[in-house]
Structure 1
Amino acid sequence: MAYIRKVKTASGATAVQIAHKHKGQITKIIHIGSAHNDEELQLLLAIAQKRLRENQLELFPEAKSSLRLSIKRSYSDLLWRTLQKQYHQLGFDQLGDEVFKALCIARIVEPTSKLDSLRVLADLGVPPIDRNKLYRCLVKAANLDYRRIISQACFDHVQGNSITLLLYDVTTLYFEIQEEDDYRKSGLSKERRLEPQIIIGMLVDQNGFPLGLHSFEGNKAETKTLLPVIEAFQAQHKLSKVTIVADAAMLSATNLEELSKAGYTYIVGSRLHKVPYDIAEYQKKGELRDQQIITMQQENYRVIYQYRAKRAALDHRNIEKQVSKAQKALNGQIPATKMKFLSVTAKSKQLNLKLVDKAKALAGIKGYVTNLDISDEKVIEYYHQLFQIEATFRMAKSDLRARPIYHQNRDAIEAHLTIVLAA
């Protein structure tokens, strides 16, 4: 059987409970609540009666309580305190800027404009922040170089002195404007957009944890971003014996030479513009086997080529799609726009079979350049850690909505990037 009981608590309140008894023993107790006055007690007893009767139909209408409940205010205090704790654990509180901290937390909770962040903060229960303080915070973040302090805190957090592998890559962030200036320029967009943009170069550790961020003009060549970022990192942290990992976009003779001079080892993706001689010799004798590695030793570095059957299957599918598209253009089914395997002149257009054969010969092959004295397999394993920085960029762009950028002046733009980095 089940019945309602009232029990006095240590605080003097009256607890209302539903007790279940079997063969004289209480087997289960459901606590309804504790009342501090008669009105609360009657309300809890009514709730207990309803729970006890469950879905039974009432013969008589239930008496209404005179007690009225209303929500005066709601806010996410637990979320605020949790994110604030993480902010402090990372060492960002050394900035001593409560407004900056609030903007970073607001960016995580609901990425929106800086002005609309005041609404987000109000929902978190944060005391109102004057909008002028918000704008002054952006100027202060740029003038006092908050990013350097945050980068140092990140470095300390991951015990940076023990770092042996640094991952580097770039991305682009576009602006909701049409006119360029000396900083925001149209260039090669990662998202194939035409708006003015800036280039972001980022360093992370091998787990994808951000260690540094730099911005460049939107039309700057990617190969020219690597050295300034590495030099700034070295100047701040004085690290040696670190391996830099970057994709093929960073491959240039100047970059490799300067990295070697600075005492760094490196692993950089290699662009294949033609079939390497050693691979061509293998292909004459027969097909490459899955996971096969071919190495070419140069004076100061070595080039590692690996063939993967899975990658080759994907490459062949893409080649067939491009050939099919080019064939449709030749047949007049679609416009003859710029296509990889279509050669167009003023008088004729034709399928570039030589280029198709070359693409098929390179299918499944990936190259890596390194001056690191470790096994070929380990070089490839380290290179594939670049997915970590790609994930970091996706998080910044999607979860934190780093773009589009609406700020106009350089200080505000840099402050925006610093907030995204900290978030």
Structure 2
Amino acid sequence: MFLKLTKSGGRHYAQLVASFRNEAGQPRQRTICTLGRLEPGGDVDKLIASLQRARGLDAAPAGNPLDGLRFEGSRCAGDVWALWQLWRTLGFDGLATAWRGSRVEVDVLGCLRAMVFNRLCDTGSKLGVLRWLETVALPLDFGFADGPPQHQHLLRAMDVIDEHSDALGARLATLMRPLIDEDLSVVFYDLTTVEVAGEAVVADDVRAYGMSKSGMVARQFMLSLVQTAEGLPIAHEVHPGNIAEAKTLLPMIKSLLARYPLKRVVLVADRGLLSVNNLDELATLQATLAGEGRAVSLEYVLAVPTARYGDFAEALRTSASSQPADQPWVAESTWQSSSKSSSKSTSPSAPIQRRLVIAHDPEVARRRTQARNKAITELLALGEQWGGKLDAQDAGASRRGRPLSDSGAKARFYHAAQDASLAHLIKVDLQAEAFSFHVDEDKQRDLELLDGKLLLVTNTDAPAVEVVQRYKSLADIERGFRVLKSDIEIGPVYHRLPKRIRAHALVCFMALILYRVMRMRLKANDHDESPIRLLQQLQRIHQQTVRTADGQALHGLTEMTPTQKSLFSVLQLPMPTPAALSKPVL
């Protein structure tokens, strides 16, 4: 016998059928009985329930196998897992040795990891870290064995990080050394401003009013950053918001040499860091290191601030006179400066010849010249308009509104020239009785000579073209600052205490290290995706929690796509498994 399924009137039925042969030996079928409807709760379910009761089993009629199944939670897992594995690959768990032996009751390493990962996965305030932890599945042994951290735990961890900042920086440098070329290291140095909130003043405050990178006066602190030629950040420092950029250079170089056993340092820095005293002190530092028996070659490629281009006018004219104005070119000359004289000496300081590299970009020169000439034309037209009104008034012509005076025209035109940044070029005679102005044509020719020029001072022996290429690579460190301000969102900073601000900067600095290492691995495998876009794709890998009808909790991971699997392969990291993740507390 066997079961046969039939359909009638849109419903399905089960029949018990027997096979037999008739008198002629032909196979036939005979319906023994109709068991009833197959739909859930139909006759067949009732029959099954009756048979189970006859066997002593108290079971409800079989229904939909998903009846009673509940999906109780879903947490992001892939992005945190990738960062966790990258953290361990770099050996960053060893940072805990920096505060080993101190009496710390909070999980500092776990808090540090959580804050760093949060900057890359879901930036926010410290309270945002706590909310974020509620949405992610942490790997086993991530930390927080005594339960999730609270807000005061994060703050205490930041205090510990700052208290042991020197030991932590030394340990971090040790872990970063395998990634750095110690025989020849080209490092890039630059500073940026970070916005802060609040008006309160505390002791040793690093928040101060200064000129921000946006050109506005704001309360801020300065952040300096050192990166390798490959774009890997290796050092940072927090400075008061009103410090002069040039004063930060030498202390950073000394700190860098103390932490890394470099044989040669080629420092590449942007405008604002060029100072005769800095260059003299670098030479003094070089001599001091040699006297200590440390063979370190200190070289530099520093850009000349635009405000000082006038000091090099003669060298620019000489170089430009022998070069085509409509073609790019690179030339070199010398810059004669006075060395820092000894305080005990009454004789004048001896001049020092420094190597000057000049590069010309005709396209940049054309754009700047055209923009300036357009602004000059518009300003001159305004001056002629006001001059015409004054002449008409003197001739007795009547006009609506208040009459225009010569003194008023002079003041308004002077301020208009200042607003257009042309007061040094368009001169207003403020002492004359009548309104008058003129264009300083010699100054205009000098400005056109400077257009499109890049001036670099260096003590390297590299070809001039290579010096220019090294400096232009400084744009990579500027991208690092953009990552800090956009993807990692270092500011605005709401912390008030200097130690918390420094700890916050360290957290963002470590997030930038992970970002750059991911970027380097992606680039090595010809992947154009940004690390943040990569983490967004891995964030879609979720830990799912399901509870069955009998109350059993099941945990699993969403099926990974081929793209997600390839990303783990590119990053050289293992893929997550359900057993490797902590189970959520339900």
Q: 2:421 aligns with which of 340, 355, 364?
A: 340
More displaced stretch, 333-342 vs 354-363: 333-342
CA distance in 1, matches of 2:201, 2:253: 28
Counterpart amino acid of residue 165 in structure 1 = V
Q: How does 1:317-336 map to 2 (within 5 A)?
A: 317-324=370-377, 326-327=379-380, 330=383, 336=416
Post-superposition shift, 1:315?
A: 1.9
More displaced stretch, 250-259 vs 180-189: 180-189
Q: How does 1:232-381 map to 2 (within 5 A)?
A: 232-263=255-286, 264-271=298-305, 272-273=309-310, 276-281=313-318, 283=320, 287-298=324-335, 299-324=352-377, 326-327=379-380, 330=383, 336=416, 337-342=418-423, 343=427, 350=437, 352-354=439-441, 355-381=443-469
Q: 1:322 to 1:256 in 2, by over 3 A?
A: farther
Q: How does 1:14-413 map to 2 (within 5 A)?
A: 67-96=67-96, 97-126=109-138, 128-145=148-165, 148-149=169-170, 151-153=172-174, 155-178=176-199, 182-263=205-286, 264-271=298-305, 272-273=309-310, 276-281=313-318, 283=320, 287-298=324-335, 299-324=352-377, 326-327=379-380, 330=383, 336=416, 337-342=418-423, 343=427, 350=437, 352-354=439-441, 355-413=443-501
Counterpart amino acid of residue 194 in structure 1 = V
Counterpart amino acid of residue 358 in structure 2 = Y
Post-superposition shift, 1:318?
A: 3.2
Counterpart amino acid of residue 420 in structure 2 = M
Corresponding residue SS for 2:310: coil
- The one-character-per-residue Cα deviations of 1:174-215 (angstroms, maximum 9, x if unpaired) are 112245664211112112333311111111001211100011
CA contact (8 A) 1:295 1:303 kept: yes
Post-superposition shift, 1:130?
A: 2.1
Which consecutive residues of structure 2, in runs of 5 or more, have no partner in the other structure?
1-38, 40-62, 97-108, 139-146, 287-297, 336-351, 387-411, 512-586
Q: 1:297 to 1:395 in 2, by over 3 A?
A: same
Post-superposition shift, 1:261?
A: 2.9
Q: 1:154 to 1:370 in 2, by over 3 A?
A: farther
CA distance in 2, matches of 1:179, 1:325: 46
CA contact (8 A) 1:315 1:364 kept: yes
CA distance in 2, matches of 1:325, 1:123: 58
Percent identity over the alignment?
Answer: 23
CA contact (8 A) 2:196 2:219 kept: yes
CA distance in 1, matches of 2:421, 2:155: 48
Q: 1:275 to 1:253 in 2, by over 3 A?
A: closer
Q: 1:274 to 1:253 in 2, by over 3 A?
A: closer
Post-superposition shift, 1:307?
A: 1.3
CA contact (8 A) 2:183 2:262 kept: no
CA contact (8 A) 1:300 1:371 kept: no
Counterpart amino acid of residue 67 in structure 1 = D
CA contact (8 A) 1:171 1:393 kept: yes
Corresponding residue SS for 2:238: strand
CA contact (8 A) 1:104 1:420 kept: yes
Post-superposition shift, 1:125?
A: 2.4
Q: Which has the higher contact order (CA 8 A, sep 6+)?
A: 2
CA distance in 2, matches of 1:344, 1:120: 61
| Structure 2 residue aligned with 1:419 | 507
Post-superposition shift, 1:65?
A: 6.9
- The one-character-per-residue Cα deviations of 1:29-66 (angstroms, maximum 9, x if unpaired) are xxxxxxxxxx9xxxxxxxxxxxxxxxxxxxxxxx9776
Post-superposition shift, 1:238?
A: 3.9
CA distance in 1, matches of 2:502, 2:218: 19
CA distance in 2, matches of 1:121, 1:274: 57
Counterpart amino acid of residue 74 in structure 1 = S
Post-superposition shift, 1:253?
A: 0.6
CA distance in 1, matches of 2:265, 2:191: 19
More displaced stretch, 284-293 vs 242-251: 284-293
| Structure 1 residue aligned with 2:529 | none
CA distance in 2, matches of 1:244, 1:77: 41
Q: 1:242 to 1:283 in 2, by over 3 A?
A: closer
CA distance in 2, matches of 1:350, 1:70: 83
Q: 1:138 to 1:294 in 2, by over 3 A?
A: same
Instruction: Give TM-score scaled by structure 2 length.
Output: 0.57
Corresponding residue SS for 2:218: coil
Question: Which structure has the bigger radius of gyration?
Answer: 2
CA distance in 1, matches of 2:457, 2:273: 11
- The one-character-per-residue Cα deviations of 1:361-409 (angstroms, maximum 9, x if unpaired) are 2111111111101111111111111011001000001100001110000
Corresponding residue SS for 1:197: strand
CA distance in 1, matches of 2:299, 2:320: 32
Q: 1:283 to 1:413 in 2, by over 3 A?
A: closer
CA distance in 2, matches of 1:371, 1:290: 27
Corresponding residue SS for 2:468: helix
Post-superposition shift, 1:95?
A: 2.2
Post-superposition shift, 1:274?
A: 5.1
CA distance in 2, matches of 1:83, 1:253: 44
Q: 1:162 to 1:101 in 2, by over 3 A?
A: farther
Which consecutive residues of structure 1, in runs of 5 or more, have no partner in the other structure?
1-38, 40-62
Q: 1:69 to 1:215 in 2, by over 3 A?
A: same
CA distance in 1, matches of 2:194, 2:90: 26
CA distance in 2, matches of 1:67, 1:401: 46
Q: 1:189 to 1:74 in 2, by over 3 A?
A: same
Post-superposition shift, 1:352?
A: 4.6
Q: 1:300 to 1:86 in 2, by over 3 A?
A: farther
Counterpart amino acid of residue 403 in structure 1 = G
Number of corresponding residues: 362
CA contact (8 A) 1:319 1:356 kept: no
More displaced stretch, 202-211 vs 255-264: 255-264
